[in-house]
Structure 1
């Protein structure tokens, strides 16, 4: 197995750093899947265990000036799966904000490593090369099925959320009142966040939002005015850990242009974050009242 990628454009280097930072704030461990055309950061835990699921997808040509990889075989297994701690990758990239280039390589030290080489300018005119070796575990092919893209259910409602910074400020105040938040929406562009205590119920309402459906095959987003299955005025809801929701909002570093909230009533809460060259799916476990 071999992998080597080089980022030269400083904008691409910084953007890649922001993506890895977002993932690191959502997952302590993850799997980095490398294919010929894309990179994926994956966290696949069963929702019943109280953990989240993450599927972050990047098109390699939008980031890398040079990219070469070779998996177990070129025919049926031309992929590489690496188990790593994303925070280690974030630390390795912190010195790259003024880098001339950054290289990522799969290397063999005492253990398999994802080596990050950063070329930095200096006052003497001689470039400095900083190398970080991040220990990784290579996942065997027999386990790859555990890291497939999460299957999407038929959602009761889909809605485009307000700007994540506005939501973050609201949720940060709400989490001082309760451990849980009920997120509800309908097919008429209304979204509601509500927390309850023994003394009171506090809610925030948003109106005139856009209902949306995501066509995965076309890798695009279509908007429409009504809910896909229910009376447009009927709210569907999901109750979740408010700290996990706050963590999701606080972790956004890539400034997505759209976040879609998808709900199966009292069963599933799914967020789909869209950027020009990054998409991130985030499943949050629902807590029954």
Structure 2
């Protein structure tokens, strides 16, 4: 994929990037997850990584997302030429649902090629060579419209910093947590998540009419450390039994739990007291961060 300067910074080159065998299945799961979380996002391409970014204004009640994929783990060939040698990146806004549908048709393909093209508008063109009963090949092509993000706006799509959390904890099995949240959603629009550094997490609904809580024990706490080797954030001096909480929009948490499609090997939750929930999913060469602001 190659890029040069134009009115908004780009021209187009037919050099493709090729997905590895079976990588289209894993990539499809990741993109499907993202499509469940947001209608539009930014795809940021660099020589080493691909990022799906939702730069939500968390301070104003919006959610944020940062998903990182290592290109070497997904592509046999990857050619990228950015705006300049110093700014060797491409940023594109797209609808992840369109990309998800295209990758679903390519799950059993022999090869998948993705390239940036100029048609009636800028597009990500996905060409999937599908297996046939004869020697003739069958290629299915999808053109996904994209908007090119000018370089002056790139700073809006840099990696978010890790919140200075008060508690960090491993999450319970996401399917179990989803079932609990689904039931609680019928009782209130808001849910309280609280946890401590002793591996305990509670999900609570409190209204004038009802009070409901689900308790999880022995979840464990990630071994996060600061630069000096001590635990990051205020939790280094906190009583391990003391609970830290944040009250969030239950629909935003439900959307996150409904969306995940790639069965992470680790799922973590960082809480900044009454400020933000920072959720992290890790699976092999994929990481996804999701930020949900607290509400009063």
Q: Deviations over 1:130-176 (max 9, x none)?
A: 11111111111111011111122211000001111111111111111
Q: Which residue of 2 aligns with 1:269?
A: 277
- Kindly provide the CA deviation profile for residues 93-144 of structure 1, in whole angstroms up to 9, marking residues without a partner as x: 1211211111110011121111011111122332210111111111111110
1:18 aligns with 2:29: yes
Shift of 1:215: 5.8
Query: Could you tell me the TM-score, scaled by structure 1's length?
Result: 0.93
- Tell me by how many angstroms 1:4 deviates: 2.8
Q: Which moved more, 1:44-53 or 1:59-68?
A: 44-53
Q: Give the aligned CA root-mean-square deviation in angstroms.
A: 1.9
Selected match of 2:212 from 202, 207, 217: 202
Distance 1:49 1:124 in 2: 57
Find the partner of 1:230 among 231, 234, 238: 238
Deviation at 1:213, TM superposition (A): 4.1
Which of the residues 143, 150, 154 maps onto 1:144? 154
Q: CA deviation at 1:197?
A: 2.8
- Could you list the per-position Cα deviations for residues 161-195 of structure 1 after superposition, in whole angstroms to 9, with x for gaps in the alignment? 11111111111111111111100001111100001
Contact kept? 1:211, 1:227, Cα under 8 Å: no
> Which structure 2 residues correspond to residues 76-155 of structure 1 after superposition, within 5 A?
76-155=86-165
Contact kept, 8 Å, 1:188 with 1:227, in 2: the verdict is no
In structure 1, the residue matched to 2:175 is 165
The corresponding residue for 1:69 is 80
Q: Which runs of 4+ in 1 moved over 2 A?
A: 213-217, 226-229
**Size of the alignment, in residue pairs?**
281
* Alignment match, 1:257: 265
Question: Unpaired segments of 5 or more residues in structure 2?
Answer: 4-12
Which residue does 2:8 correspond to in 1? none
Structure 1, residues 49-84: CA drift from partner, whole Å, max 9, x if none? 32210000000011111111100112x110000011
Classify the secondary structure of the residue corresponding to 1:228: helix
Q: Distance in 1 between matches of 2:236 and 2:34?
A: 30
Check whether the contact 1:31–1:82 (CA below 8 A) recurs between aligned residues.
yes
Q: Equivalent residue for 1:44?
A: 55
